[in-house]
Structure 1
Amino acid sequence: MTGVELEVRPRKGRTKGYLNRIRAEGFVPGVVYGKQLDGVGVEFEGRALEAILKRHGRNTILNMRIQSNGKKPRKYTVLIKDVQYHLMKNDIQHVDFQQISLKDEISTVVNLHLVGEAPGVAVGGNLSQPLRQLEISCLATAIPDSIEVDVSGLDIGHSIHVSDLRVPEGVKVLNEPQALVVSVTAPRRAEAGEAAETPEAAPADEEKQVNE
């Protein structure tokens, strides 16, 4: 995984009015955290990051250049830590970046991607995937784009757990080994026949009058 360039500039304001103004201009506010950085505010073109996410994914290494008027740009190696989107427009509203070292292992999450067709589904079974992301630890250069989960051997009643997954060399899985990833269960069947009718109760015998 190679680094992708991202040009940013120092953020000049923090007020709601300022943030709304730069968003209207196509810029996105962000914060960079790390050993050498104590929550540095930045801003950058939203389209630039959207293109990176679309082409390379969220776990790509970014070579961030913080431009400053009249000064030499500061360079940092970072990963995207969190992305906040607009609830209605789905535009990027804010991004947290994490400064990293290419020599140290980091913890992150990657998507689990199902491949193949489960035989159990072909005969009416229901496929369920309760775990869609895997927690891993590895060097930043070893982060996979995703982890493939082959379901081509899943019949009804079969399942795949974290311990069954194949991950690239150098990647450590942090999830519990017994955690369920995907399974195929039997379909729900309609109850056969109609419910048995409850027999009507016989009318109670009339009380007999006893003659004295």
Structure 2
Amino acid sequence: MTDFTLNAQVRSDLGKGASRRLRRNANLVPAVIYGGDKEPRSISLLAKELSKLLESEASFSHVLNLNVEGQQESVLIKALQRHPAKGFVLHADFVRVVAGQKVTAHVPLHFINEESSVGVKQQAGEVSHTVTEVEVSVLPQDLPEFIEVDLSNVEVGQIVHLSDLKLPKGVELVSLIHGNDLAVANIHASRVQNDTEEEGAAE
């Protein structure tokens, strides 16, 4: 089970040069906490602790506990700046979670029953995912780690939209709030099947 706690220290030496020194000399990642009714705080985290936390997909959709020199902050990961080539985190943004106030967070989609779906098993179609995560608006205590997309009854030619998803209690999709009913997945005829049909028609 993942421990969603990170230790941090207050960072007073600010600026790009200071951030580079943190990463190079102390294996620390500069970060900032903002939101709520408090002032933003500049902090630093141990790179190896942050990296270990991020190995869990759930860390991106889970309320984290930041222990900042003995003071506890409940936060969500808002943004990560990564090295363009090596992928490690250069800077992290955390937003405070306030009890009773809705938060927005990105939650991964878990696609289930793909192989046993009507479109794949009976019609030899192929599944395409067009969205792998969604932005939700929800109270902190109702924040899901993931949202399931059940493809069992989807046929070839069908498209699954955001409005088709079964959402956990209290969860709203930000795109739907703004009137954007995006496509999430579809099942289409396989390329092999299409090629075979075209050859038959040509003959």
Under a length normalisation based on structure 2, what TM-score does the superposition of the two structures give? 0.81
2:73 pairs with 1:76 = yes
Percent identity, aligned pairs only, is 30
- Superposed CA deviations along residues 129-172 of structure 1, whole A, max 9, x for unmatched, are 22222221111121111101111222212232222211111212
CA deviation after TM superposition for structure 1 residue 97, in Å: 0.7
User: Aligned to 1:168, what secondary structure does the other structure show?
Assistant: coil
- 1:151 partner letter: L
Change (3 A) 1:27 1:193: same
**Does the CA-based 8 Å contact 2:4-2:59 persist in structure 1?**
no
Q: 2:61 aligns with which of 59, 62, 65?
A: 59
Unaligned runs of 5+ in 1: 68-72, 196-212
Q: Which moved more, 1:132-141 or 1:9-18?
A: 9-18
2:184 pairs with 1:181 = yes
**Does the CA-based 8 Å contact 1:3-1:61 persist in structure 2?**
no
User: Aligned to 1:30, what secondary structure does the other structure show?
Assistant: strand
The equivalent of 1:157 in structure 2 is 157
The equivalent of 1:168 in structure 2 is 168
2:33 pairs with 1:32 = yes
CA deviation after TM superposition for structure 1 residue 98, in Å: 0.5
Q: 1:104 aligns with which of 81, 101, 104?
A: 101
2:90 pairs with 1:93 = yes
Change (3 A) 1:19 1:174: closer
Distance 1:134 1:104 in 2: 19
- 1:121 partner letter: V
The equivalent of 2:120 in structure 1 is 121
Change (3 A) 1:14 1:182: same
**Does the CA-based 8 Å contact 1:3-1:60 persist in structure 2?**
no
Unaligned runs of 5+ in 2: none
User: Aligned to 1:192, what secondary structure does the other structure show?
Assistant: helix
- Superposed CA deviations along residues 8-53 of structure 1, whole A, max 9, x for unmatched, are 1111322433222221222100011123433321101022122222
Change (3 A) 1:163 1:110: same
CA deviation after TM superposition for structure 1 residue 193, in Å: 7.2
**Does the CA-based 8 Å contact 2:60-2:106 persist in structure 1?**
no
Change (3 A) 1:82 1:178: closer
User: Aligned to 1:47, what secondary structure does the other structure show?
Assistant: helix
**Does the CA-based 8 Å contact 1:110-1:145 persist in structure 2?**
yes
Structure with the higher helix share, 1 or 2: 2
Under a length normalisation based on structure 1, what TM-score does the superposition of the two structures give? 0.78
- 2:44 partner letter: E
The equivalent of 2:47 in structure 1 is 46
Distance 2:201 2:162 in 1: 43
- Superposed CA deviations along residues 66-116 of structure 1, whole A, max 9, x for unmatched, are 22xxxxx33322111111111222111100011121221112221111111
The equivalent of 2:130 in structure 1 is 130
Which structure is larger by alpha-carbon Rg, 1 or 2? 1
User: Aligned to 2:199, what secondary structure does the other structure show?
Assistant: coil
- 1:57 partner letter: S
